[in-house]
Amino acid sequence: MSNLTLALAILGGLVLAAVVGYEAMMSRRNAPRQPDAVDTALADVERSLSSSGDGVEPMLHVDPHQVSGSADRHEPLFDPDLPAPSGVPVPTGERRGGLDPLIDVIAPISLDGLASGDAAIAAMPPTRRAGSKPVAIEGLNERNGQWEPPAPGQRYSAFQVGVQLANRTGALNEIEYSEFVVKAQAFADAVNGAPEFPEMLDEVARARELDQFASAHDAQLGFVLRALHAAWSPGYVQQNAARLGFVAGIIPGRMVLPTGEVGLPPILGLAFDTQAALADDPAQSAIRELSLSLDVPQVDRDEEPFRRMREAAATLAREMDGVVTDSDGQLLRDETMDVIGTDLEQLYDTLDARDLAAGSPLARRLFS
């Protein structure tokens, strides 16, 4: 073999090795980022401690196969078809739900005597909705003088039936009002009561006015976090979000930042591709963007949800090598964020003036 042939063979080998090395380097660079091994090991230890029953309080971790205590989809607290699960502690303090003339049509039912809670429960309509609007029944408790949902063993001197004037599906219409009247009349007949219904046209007009106000003052904010270079694995996203207090939601690929009180909607939501979270090998799933969301009327302004949303977006972008954009891919700069914050403060003030403060029971029902 001549010296030239040998030199060409060596050169070819070097070129091939360089190509293979480059391909390996690019493959590693483009592979989805994985969660930190130390944090993953700590989470495994915490899970074993929490299941051992030794009284040790586990640190925060995310298990995508478990359901978080904060539901992904929160129903309005006044939803008679969805009673609270047994065993879930009821928040104390301000009464939640209940009929209110501000957002409900209310038909009082007078009684000749007293009616038992058991009889009222038996007379409840099987579906307590009129179209897309919740219907609720309350009784005036003889013992404490409070309006409440009928309860076994209690006696009531009067009842009232209500239907919500508006929600995010629109305003109460004539057909829904008529369905409400039918349900309320059937209940009244069953408890030997006499209902008094407001004028339909007046209530439908009131519903439209409330719906117009709600539509003009509804705000659901969303940021998109996009990867600049390497994609992310689901575990990597979950790990970084968990460091900020997010926990797993019910739907795969969904996380929430819960409030400190049981039963309230989450402060923020975080979502990425559900299919990536459900993949046979999630570690190989490539996620290039995720979304942060804030349902403004559902969260009390005292929680400072926008500030926390802004800080969470900035922290995740810094730690995960990404950028924060709107849904169209436009970068969201500090000046834009400041304008959004100012507009939100004005919105909060408007809702307060209408007695529909963000995060209040009435606001959560109306904007649902």
Tell me the domains of the chain and their CATH numbers: 104-215 (3.30.1400.10), 219-366 (3.30.1400.10)
- Sorting pLDDT into bands at 50, 70 and 90, what band is 98? confident
User: Can you read off the two tokens belonging to residue 184?
Assistant: 């309320």
* 94 has pLDDT over 60: no
User: Can you read off the two tokens belonging to residue 288?
Assistant: 């290039």
Residue 155: other Cβ atoms inside 10 A: 17
- Sorting pLDDT into bands at 50, 70 and 90, what band is 130? very high
User: So what's the pLDDT on residue 283?
Assistant: 78
* 242 has pLDDT over 70: yes
Dump pLDDT digits (tens) for 175-234.
999 999 999 999 999 999 999 999 999 999 999 999 999 999 999 999 999 999 999 999
- Residue range 248-274: mean pLDDT, rounded: 94
- Sorting pLDDT into bands at 50, 70 and 90, what band is 56? very low
* 162 has pLDDT over 60: yes
Give the max Cα distance, the chain.
Answer: 118
- Report d(CA 259, CA 300) in Å as an integer: 10
Nearest-10 Cα torsion for 108, 113, 118, 123: -50
- Residue range 5-13: mean pLDDT, rounded: 63
Nearest-10 Cα torsion for 360, 354, 81, 91: 20
Q: Cα–Cα distances in Å, from 100 out to 86, 137, 293?
A: 26, 12, 29
56-70, 91-105, 156-170: segment of lowest average pLDDT: 56-70
In sequence order, the 6+-apart residues with CB closer than 8 A to the CB of 185 are 195
User: So what's the pLDDT on residue 268?
Assistant: 98
User: Can you read off the two tokens belonging to residue 189?
Assistant: 């007949």
* 246 has pLDDT over 90: yes
User: So what's the pLDDT on residue 146?
Assistant: 95
Dump pLDDT digits (tens) for 215-225.
999 999 999 99
* 368 has pLDDT over 70: yes
User: So what's the pLDDT on residue 7?
Assistant: 61
* 60 has pLDDT over 60: no
Residue 81: other Cβ atoms inside 10 A: 11
Q: Is 232 left (phi over 0), alpha (psi -120 to 50) or beta?
A: beta
Q: Are the beta carbons of 109 and 191 closer than 8 angstroms? A: yes
Dump pLDDT digits (tens) for 329-361.
999 999 999 999 999 999 999 999 999 999 999
Question: Which residue's entry shows tokens 């303090």?
Answer: 93
Helices H / strands E in the chain, number of each: 10, 14
pTM: 0.74
User: So what's the pLDDT on residue 279?
Assistant: 84
Dump pLDDT digits (tens) for 278-292.
888 877 788 999 999
* 93 has pLDDT over 50: no
User: So what's the pLDDT on residue 14?
Assistant: 62
- Report d(CA 7, CA 20) in Å as an integer: 20
User: Can you read off the two tokens belonging to residue 362?
Assistant: 């009435």
- Report d(CA 232, CA 235) in Å as an integer: 8
Burial class, 13, CB count within 10 angstroms (exposed 0-12 / middle 13-18 / buried 19+): exposed
**Distance from the Cα of residue 24 to its chain's centroid:** 42
